[in-house]
Chain A
Amino acid sequence: MTDPSDTTSRPDPSEPARAWVFGDNIDTDQITPSRFIVSSDPDELAEHAFEDLRPEFSETVEPGDFVVAGENFGSGSSREHSPLSLVGAGVSGVVAQSFARIFFRNAINLGLPVLICPGADAIDDGDEIHMDLDAGIVVNHTKDEQYDAEALPSFLQTLVERGGLKAYTKAKLDR
């Protein structure tokens, strides 16, 4: 199974891949229907990602693909099963015009790259994009465009650089 702690084997978000575009207010139930969240296994959860919204997603998503959304992505539940299902599906990053708070936090804690990108609505389903996390931009190869994203605050950058919340906490406990 996908080891969610092993962030080194994750796909590289700087590699261009397909964008799966969703709308506004995509809640955690739509990302991972609640009837499947008795499992905590990323691979099993990935089989049901977006199942009610776009049943073809889980069958055809390729490792490295991106999820792109409008406002308030990941609203609703605190369940980490939703970002975990995207990790299991091999999604290399999520670009949204805005995120719900707990989802954003969970994604960072899991080491799933997320960018707040107001211009994300210019990306169409199937466009080939990549994320440049250092520059804080999203590049659209299909349209030959790029969009500015909000850089992570320095505290969160530090957290990500230290390998996410688990690695950060382990280091703190070992001190």
Chain B
Amino acid sequence: MKTNYRKRELPLHLMLLPGVILLLVYSYFPMAGVVIAFQKFVPINGLFNSKWVGLDNFRYVLDMPDIWQVMRNTVSIALMKMAAGLIVPLVIAILLNEIRSALVKRGVQTLIYLPHFLSWVILGGILVEILSPSTGIVNELLVWLGFDPIYFLGSNGWFRFVLVFSDVWKEFGFSTIVYLAAITGINPALYEAATVDGAGHWKQMWHVTLPGMLPIIVLMATLSLGNVLNAGFDQVFNLYSPVVYESGDILDTLIYRIGLVDAQFGVATAIGLFKSVVSLALISISYAMAYRYANYRIF
């Protein structure tokens, strides 16, 4: 009986083998590689012969003049994106659900998902073009309306606003799908019962649709918690410039500059390790909460 089991499961192990090997090399080996956060890492000496320096790299980071600024930027940009990214798709999904014309509904959906599939390189190029203070079409409109042109990507006051706005613009369509699916899953009998009880459209929205979506809203909110230190490398990297470091520099862009531009591998890895550990803790908490309150399991 036991050998029979083994024989039946052997193909399954074989199917997983290539994936396991690749993950070992490119995910688990780098995890072990975080030891260089505690070394004065010199590539020629390798992982095992570089000098151990204990917590020096972390101390160096804490003494960096910009680090708190960067921390504040990271957390505040991420939180603003999370809040906007939760609310906007929710509202749009409810509004979209009211549309009866299948043609309009599909057309709107097709267009609002579209930016999700374009990279920040492409969207960055587009934003630079339309937001340009001299020739951009947005500023042209502002001037036409009687305002002064705004240098959106070169002003510390506006930069974060552009980050949050453009992030929502890129991603809201995608989250809208999930909310729409949740609305579709609400039992139609509840609406009929509400109608019988004399509830109009607004009351139905408030007392049937929203409560029906609550589990998925809680789920999306908890799952996004793990991203508190992810303010979006691709986006910031493609939009920022030294002028707006003050308001836009985030942990990931700082790691890039310290690690690959200045070649201070130990220091960059130390910041990366800090970020990973905090994110891991937040993700674990959020998954535990999602499991408990929304009965969510990833597998």
**Are A and B interaction partners?**
no
> Chain B interface (Cβ within 8 Å of chain A)?
none
> Chain A interface (Cβ within 8 Å of chain B)?
none
